[in-house]
Amino acid sequence: MKVILVVGARPNFMKIAPLCRAIRKRNQSIHDNRYIIHNILVHTGQHYDYEMSKIFFEDLELPEPDIYLGVGSGTHAEQTGRIMIELEKMLLKEKPDLLVVVGDVNSTLAGALTAVKLHIPVAHVEAGLRSFDRTMPEEINRLLTDAISDYLFTPSPDANENLKKEGIEDKKIFLVGNIMIDSLLSNMEKVKKSGTLKKFGLKKEQSIDDRQQTTDYALLTLHRPTNVDDKDAFGRIINALIKISQHVPIIFPVHPRTKKQMQVFGFQHYFVDLKKDTSSIINNGLYLTDPLSYSEFLNLMAHAKMILTDSGGIQEETTVLDIPCLTLRENTEWPITITQGTNVLVGNDTQKIENEAFKVLNGKGKKGNCSELWDGKASDRIIEVLLEQLVFKG
């Protein structure tokens, strides 16, 4: 069985890496070549900083992409169109039995559209998630990809319900769990050995209980246009961060685009840039650092007092790690992280952000449990379904 795996942006890498490992493991256990899965990894180049992508590939022990399309930046339409043009050429040449897309980025939709037009079956990993906010490009990508996919692999029961309400047949829907957590759990041992805490001066001394021997700090990520392209919205978040950082250091691995917006709006002077000031984080305040590798970020996240973020993936990871998460959005495609996990929606409302942050600092942060299928084995279940549907039934 020839399978094309499509990735394009960094969130995809954490979702495709476990699938690559599961395919290798399955192939090693099969002695009949008729049932070998031959996978081709295609990087569209949607996140066009190839060196940064390379760091993530190495960190996740992903093989080098077999094909790199190098589509680069552009508007949503330009980027989606270029991916489809280049991908179509490759699919016509390779003639795969299946194309797999993950997540909700432009490469996800472009891959699915291109394949279905060529009558190639499509599998969507992380299907059925809905924020019910169509102003988000990711929501449009999710809706359209699910509508045309043949195999929809869902991470949680609410995702199944969303698909059924949209008229997707039950036989196409497979509840397999959260593949992002496969990456999280498989990398935790390596993460524990990372020197990130020591690098930032946060590690007090060696101890069996790392958390007790680590300086309390919060971790921030911020990149969504609704938060960083609007000066008033960005300003409201900054005001809350200033107040919170008087009580705990906040570390901010800043996205280049967000850093640019900070300079446009004149907010950079609120932060200490650790690239320019090499001193350790020994005082309360707001600290900027360059983007981190996956392992470095996980190490910081695993020991943080709380996370403030507008990312989707971090809501999942903090729920599994049982770390309070304040999501700087009005909605989420991961409602399970609110109903069962550690997540609280605070938007860009200064007072809400402050109120929830001080609950955490006072020991009253939200606790929660992850879904029983968030166990690190979603990728194995996906491979079993594909073999059953495409090989043994075929």
Tens digits of per-residue pLDDT, 110-147? 999 999 999 999 999 999 999 999 999 999 999 999 99
Instruction: Establish how many alpha carbons lie within 13 A of residue 42's alpha carbon, considering only the half-sphere containing its beta carbon.
Output: 26
pTM of the predicted model over 0.95: no
What is the separation of C-alpha 54 from the centre of its chain, rounded to a whole number of angstroms?
16
Q: What digits encode the pLDDT tens for the residues 188-210?
A: 888 877 788 888 888 755 544 55
Is the Cβ–Cβ distance between 375 and 181 less than 8 Å?
yes
Exposure string of 288-318, with b = 16+ CB inside 10 Å and e = fewer, is bbebbbbbbbbbbbbbbbbbbbbbbbbbbbb
Is the Cβ–Cβ distance between 270 and 250 less than 8 Å?
no
The stretch 26-43 carries a mean pLDDT of 85
Whether residue 369 has pLDDT greater than 90: no
Full set of structural domains in the chain with CATH: 2-178+375-392 (3.40.50.2000), 185-361 (3.40.50.2000)
Q: Is 71 left (phi over 0), alpha (psi -120 to 50) or beta?
A: alpha
Q: What digits encode the pLDDT tens for the residues 132-187?
A: 999 999 999 999 999 999 999 999 999 999 999 999 999 999 999 999 999 999 99
Please give the radius of gyration of the chain, using alpha carbons only, rounded to the nearest integer. 21
Query: How far apart, in whole angstroms, are the C-alpha atoms of residue 210 and residue 6?
Result: 38
Instruction: Confirm whether 43 is a catalytic residue.
Output: no
Q: What digits encode the pLDDT tens for the residues 206-243?
A: 544 555 567 899 999 999 999 999 999 999 999 999 99
Burial of 206 (0-12, 13-18, 19+ CB in 10 A): exposed
Torsion, CA 112, CA 116, CA 121, CA 127, rounded to 10:
40
pLDDT at 278: 54
Burial of 109 (0-12, 13-18, 19+ CB in 10 A): buried
pLDDT at 50: 58
Catalytic residue among 38, 119, 124, 223: 223
